[in-house]
Structure 1
Amino acid sequence: MTTRPVQGYDNPETVRKALKPFEIMAFVVGVGLLVLVLEMVLKYAFDNDVLAWWAMPHGFLYMIYLVTTFNLGTAAKWPLSRIIKVMLAGVVPFLSFVVERQVAREVHGRLAG
């Protein structure tokens, strides 16, 4: 039975290539979620449907975020539970920004090590 090294990754180039799309999509989905919250506030508090169109594009962007998270998680050999936790961070306003920074810091650190 072979074991993975604790520091670094089996294939660092694959992890490096998967990290950038994840970082971009985490930021885009975080901003998109804030716009979605604004849309709900406008709709339910002020009866204004100016951003009613935003829900569907946001859902599509979230699906891309899920794919990039899964791609990074499989490249970095994360357990499925961690992949799911990072995916769920994209549904809580501001949490995607925090989790993206934590993940990026950890992955960059392991790539450097």
Structure 2
Amino acid sequence: MNAALKRFRIVAWIVGTFLILLMFVAMPLKYFGGNDFLVTAISPIHGLCYMVYLVLAFHLTQQAGWKFWPQTVGLMLGGTIPVYSFFVERWAHRKILAEHPQAADPKIRTEESV
């Protein structure tokens, strides 16, 4: 669980950063400045990262035992709205730690594993 959470958090930040760059830097440059270089460079990177994000989000929700609706779908939509992935990542992190305290530190042993 700890590794899945860590991977998801890293990719959520990457996807969020590229989406912000795309929406608030590259798109205005394309439509107001006539320069589409950044859009052609950032769009495929964000698309690839978002596909990885979807897989990792699904994997995390399966490990956490969450329902498909609304937790999994909500988590997967995190990379589609600028800045939303940061909020979703933080929400998922808090929820995972509340439900699975052993995810905070792999050295913490639960009563079940003793």
Calculate the TM-score normalised by the size of structure 1: 0.82
- 1:34 equivalent to 2:20? Answer yes
2:32 alignment partner in structure 1: 45
Number of corresponding residues = 99
Q: Which moved more, 1:82-91 or 1:63-72?
A: 82-91
1:24 alignment partner in structure 2: 10
1:104 aligns with one of 93, 99, 102: 93
1:95 aligns with one of 62, 84, 104: 84
3-state SS in 2 of match to 1:35: helix
Question: How much does 1:41 deviate?
Answer: 1.1
Deviations 1:43-96 (A, max 9, x none): 011111230221111100000000100010100011111211111121000111
- Aligned-partner residue type, residue 8 of structure 2: F
Identity within the alignment, %: 38
Q: Which moved more, 1:30-39 or 1:46-55?
A: 46-55
Structure 2: which 5+ runs fail to align?
A: 103-114
More relative contact order in 1 or in 2 (CA 8 Å, sep 6+)? 1
- Aligned-partner residue type, residue 71 of structure 1: H
Deviations 1:23-57 (A, max 9, x none): 00110000010111121111011111230221111
Counterpart Cα distance in 2 of 1:111 and 1:27: 22
Structure 1: which 5+ runs fail to align?
A: 1-14
Provide runs of 4+ in structure 1 moved above 4 Å. Answer: none
**Map of 1:43-82 to 2, 5 A cutoff?**
43-51=30-38, 52-81=40-69, 82=71
Counterpart Cα distance in 1 of 2:73 and 2:62: 12
3-state SS in 2 of match to 1:55: helix
3-state SS in 2 of match to 1:48: coil
